[in-house]
Amino acid sequence: MQPEMIKVKIDGIGTVEVLRGSKIIEAVTKLDKKAAVKAIAALLKSKRIGSEDRTVDMSCSLGEDTDIALLPADDKNQKSLDLLNHSTAHIMAAAIIRLYPDAKFAIGPAIKNGFYYDFDTSSEVSPDTLPAIEKEMRKIIASNQPFIRNVLSKEEAFNIFRGNPYKLELIREIGDPLVSTYTSGDFIDLCLGPHIPSTGKVRAFKLLSIAGAYWRGNEKNKMLVRIYGTSFFTAEELDKYLKKIELARESDHRKLGKELDLFSFHEEAPGFPFFHAKGMILRETILKYWREEHDREGYQEVQTPIILSNALWKTSGHWDNYKENMYFVKIDENDYAVKPMNCPGNILIYKSSQHSYRDLPLRLAELGLVHRHEKSGVLHGLFRVRNFTQDDAHIFCTEEQLFDEVSKVVDLVGRMYKVFGFEKYHMELSTRPAKSIGTKEMWDKAEGLLRDVLDSKNMGYVINEGDGAFYGPKIDFHIEDCLERTWQCATIQLDFAMPEKFDIEYMGEDNMRHRPAMIHRTVLGSLERFIGILIENYSGNLPPWLAPVQMVVLPISEKFHAYSEEIVEKLKGSGFRVLLDDRVESLGKKIRQSELQKIPYMIIAGEKEEKTKTITIRKKKGDDIKEVKLESFIKIAERVVANREASY
């Protein structure tokens, strides 16, 4: 009897017949030996419509006719990078167990731009120990040990990991009676896989930092050691990434916020930012532009209280769906909550008077200060705080007006982001979560309308299943900064449920009462977070219209103080934010100080300038402009600031 053969079709290479049970690597080698050496994994092409392709090891056995695509060792391929980083995490764990035999490992996934592994050890592990771990990792890589997958019963797995409480907990939670492990050399780990063929495929890696992390993210659990790293297929890509990290460190808004005297944090109020005078100038400059755009779009600015009755939050659904993130207080023996969101207060404003269809759409905007309880371990500068200002707005409208109103918000977001220098962004549509209010019909209608708006604009978007707000689906905008990092800022949420809960109405053209729809939306999101993003995007070198100090006048010596004061008065009279540095210091030292303060324009006044009634301008970026008439410079600077130009 002839052995049963199966056909394997390999994208870009061809089709080959092999024995049933053959490994993918054997099928590929039969057709193209070079391709077999280069491949790090394979994609099994799904035969079912709507199903995703499955990534598997090159050692995976095939039991039927199969179409596959090979995953290359390519730094531009995210699937390949994720696979490489996950495998490098295993190599790091193997190195750690050699150096710290008592180490007990928890989880070690690939993450964006790298990997981490959490482990428990009685030994002291610090940044100084990272080079020793890297050295051990290089030995494992040089040995070119294969990653071997094994499938075993849960009982066998319990025996293998009997000394590791973290792995035992994970095994107990697996629903299947069988589990998989991966072995490389003498190291074995509980893992679903897949992995690269062998440790030798790792070419360029770096361990980056050490942090503490609670097991399962629960502060009641033990604090584990977490080591972060990154891995690439080429040294060039690793070097490029490490330079980007260094630039990000230099651009860290927490560092620059302190150096530029914008804001601070204090142990007396953890997670609550203190804005200094220069920081307030930056805030108010952003909000001046924000108000201009919102006035143009027909929004009415309102303000609601920070503390509101618990009864309100029970009606809105926050009590059942959000109270773990809220702060509470008693007033006159009654229960109140500090608002985590502005929407219920805006609904009360709507309810305070009767409305007809002629009043709609009603666009209420609020720069509302909200408070949310964040765990201390996740607080991070302005990016993760416990109180922040939401540039909120709530649009009450008829169902017929919804499409146009959502469309206008999408346009507003794009227009404002461009002014701030964020031309690249993508959108994600998030659907009904497990905890939600409202009927299925409401959610289907809302999700369909948001899809229709995005489709009408031919704007690509990603679907995030189950990630909507508890009261409605949403469109989130993710901006990309100069370091190619993305930040979620603007959001548009469509809500039919809350108007129902609060029983709000309007009188229709038919003289009948109708229920309005409600759009919740932000453009900047959290003002504090947006300021942090701006600082990092520009590395503190804010464009002149945003810079707290736009110009500094630098007299060459005390002899030219009077002329410098004349210049300052004229600049202030034209509306610029300008300082006079009349310290008894060398010009070079004053220029360096102004550069460190990232002031856009440095105006130098000396003998030649005083005689010709001109100025010399030194810019942060570009060459000096010598002997320019002050009036000419004022006209140029007025245009740059008025047009909110990013360059100057």
Same domain for 82 and 66, yes or no, is no
- Extract the runs of DSSP E, i.e. beta strands, from 233-333: 263-264, 274-275, 300-301, 307-309, 327-331
Side chain identity at residue 128, one-letter code: D
Over residues 358-408, the pLDDT tens digits come to 999 999 999 999 999 888 777 888 988 999 899 999 999 999 999 999 999
Catalytic site residue from 372, 521, 590, 598? 372
Give pLDDT, residue 621. 60
CATH code of the domain containing 598: 3.40.50.800
Q: Is residue 231 situated within a structural domain?
A: yes
Residue 314 has pLDDT above 90, yes or no: no
Over residues 493-509, the pLDDT tens digits come to 999 988 988 999 999 99
474 assigned to active site? yes
Give pLDDT, residue 167. 94
Give pLDDT, residue 2. 53
Catalytic site residue from 60, 191, 343, 489? 343
Q: What CA–CA distance (Å, rounded) separates 517 from 520? A: 10
Q: Is residue 445 situated within a structural domain?
A: yes
Over residues 540-567, the pLDDT tens digits come to 999 999 999 999 999 998 889 999 999 9
Catalytic site residue from 226, 432, 520, 590? 520
Over residues 283-308, the pLDDT tens digits come to 999 999 999 999 999 999 999 999 99
Q: Is residue 263 situated within a structural domain?
A: no
Over residues 195-247, the pLDDT tens digits come to 999 999 999 999 999 988 889 887 788 899 999 999 999 999 999 999 988 98
Closest by CA position to 338, among listed 350, 325, 349: 325
Mean pLDDT (whole number) for 457-476: 87
Same domain for 437 and 302, yes or no, is yes
pTM of this prediction?
0.81
Looking from the CA of 72 toward its CB, the CA atoms found within 13 Å total: 9
Residue 260 has pLDDT above 60, yes or no: yes
Considering 12-16, 122-126, 244-248, 515-519, the range whose residues carry the highest mean pLDDT is 515-519
635 assigned to active site? no
Considering 227-231, 248-252, 471-475, the range whose residues carry the highest mean pLDDT is 227-231
Same domain for 330 and 454, yes or no, is yes
The pLDDT confidence band at residue 346, using thresholds 50, 70 and 90, is: very high
514 assigned to active site? no
**Complete edge-to-edge strand list for the sheet that includes strand 517-526:** 300-301, 362-371, 387-397, 517-526, 486-495, 474-480, 425-430, 461-464
Collapsing DSSP to helix, strand or coil, 286 comes out as helix
CATH code of the domain containing 86: 3.30.980.10
Q: Is residue 544 situated within a structural domain?
A: no
Of 250, 277, 303, the residue at which a domain comes to its end is 250
Collapsing DSSP to helix, strand or coil, 554 comes out as strand
Secondary structure in 3-state letters for 614-645: EEEEEECCCCCEEEEEHHHHHHHHHHHHHCCC
Give pLDDT, residue 28. 87
Handedness of CA 560, 562, 566, 568 (dihedral sign): positive
Residue 620 has pLDDT above 80, yes or no: no
Number of domain units in the chain: 4
Q: Is residue 65 situated within a structural domain?
A: yes
Residue 131 has pLDDT above 90, yes or no: yes
253 assigned to active site? no
Over residues 30-43, the pLDDT tens digits come to 888 888 889 999 99
Catalytic site residue from 474, 529, 590, 598? 474
Mean pLDDT (whole number) for 171-193: 92
Give pLDDT, residue 466. 85
Mean pLDDT (whole number) for 323-347: 89
Catalytic site residue from 201, 371, 390, 590? 390
Q: Is residue 332 situated within a structural domain?
A: yes
Determine contact, residues 344/316, Cβ cutoff 8 Å: yes
Nearest 5°: CA angle at 172, between 87 and 193?
A: 20
Same domain for 246 and 314, yes or no, is no
Measured from the Cβ of residue 93, the count of other Cβ atoms closer than 10 Å reads 22
Give pLDDT, residue 563. 93
The pLDDT confidence band at residue 175, using thresholds 50, 70 and 90, is: confident
Give pLDDT, residue 381. 87
Same domain for 61 and 82, yes or no, is no
Give pLDDT, residue 618. 87
Residue 187 has pLDDT above 90, yes or no: yes
Mean pLDDT (whole number) for 122-129: 90
Looking from the CA of 274 toward its CB, the CA atoms found within 13 Å total: 10
Q: What CA–CA distance (Å, rounded) separates 54 from 42? A: 8
- In sequence order, the β-bridge partners of residue 581 are none
Same domain for 58 and 178, yes or no, is no
Give pLDDT, residue 393. 95
Of 45, 72, 99, the residue at which a domain comes to its end is 72
Same domain for 562 and 443, yes or no, is no
Give pLDDT, residue 49. 55
Closest by CA position to 574, among listed 524, 520, 624, 638: 638
The pLDDT confidence band at residue 619, using thresholds 50, 70 and 90, is: confident
Q: What CA–CA distance (Å, rounded) separates 427 from 413? A: 11
Same domain for 517 and 418, yes or no, is yes
Catalytic site residue from 120, 189, 392, 481? 392
Give pLDDT, residue 294. 97
CATH code of the domain containing 64: 3.10.20.30
Work out whether strand 486-495 and strand 204-214 pair parallel, antiparallel, or are unpaired.
Answer: unpaired
Same domain for 238 and 305, yes or no, is no
Catalytic site residue from 394, 432, 521, 598? 394
Q: Which residue has the higher pLDDT, 44 or 620?
A: 44
Whole-number average pLDDT of the chain: 91
Q: Is residue 246 situated within a structural domain?
A: yes
CATH code of the domain containing 431: 3.30.930.10
Lowest mean pLDDT among 38-47, 243-252, 332-341: 38-47
Of 27, 57, 72, the residue at which a domain comes to its end is 72
The pLDDT confidence band at residue 158, using thresholds 50, 70 and 90, is: very high
Mean pLDDT (whole number) for 113-125: 92
Containing structural domain, residue 617: 551-642
Same domain for 367 and 488, yes or no, is yes
The pLDDT confidence band at residue 481, using thresholds 50, 70 and 90, is: confident
Side chain identity at residue 579, one-letter code: L
Determine contact, residues 533/479, Cβ cutoff 8 Å: yes
493 assigned to active site? no
Q: Is residue 392 situated within a structural domain?
A: yes
Closest by CA position to 90, among listed 119, 65, 113, 48: 119
Measured from the Cβ of residue 270, the count of other Cβ atoms closer than 10 Å reads 12
Nearest 5°: CA angle at 393, between 391 and 398?
A: 165
372 assigned to active site? yes
The pLDDT confidence band at residue 349, using thresholds 50, 70 and 90, is: very high
Same domain for 226 and 305, yes or no, is no
Q: How far, in Å, are 61, 484, 526, 640 from residue 546 at the CA level?
A: 60, 22, 18, 11
Mean pLDDT (whole number) for 421-432: 90
Determine contact, residues 154/171, Cβ cutoff 8 Å: yes
The pLDDT confidence band at residue 265, using thresholds 50, 70 and 90, is: very high
Give pLDDT, residue 504. 93
Over residues 396-410, the pLDDT tens digits come to 999 999 999 999 999
Same domain for 464 and 590, yes or no, is no
392 assigned to active site? yes
Question: For residue 588, what are its two tokens?
Answer: 């070079």
- Percent of the chain having pLDDT more than 90? 63
Residue 648 has pLDDT above 70, yes or no: no
Give pLDDT, residue 584. 87
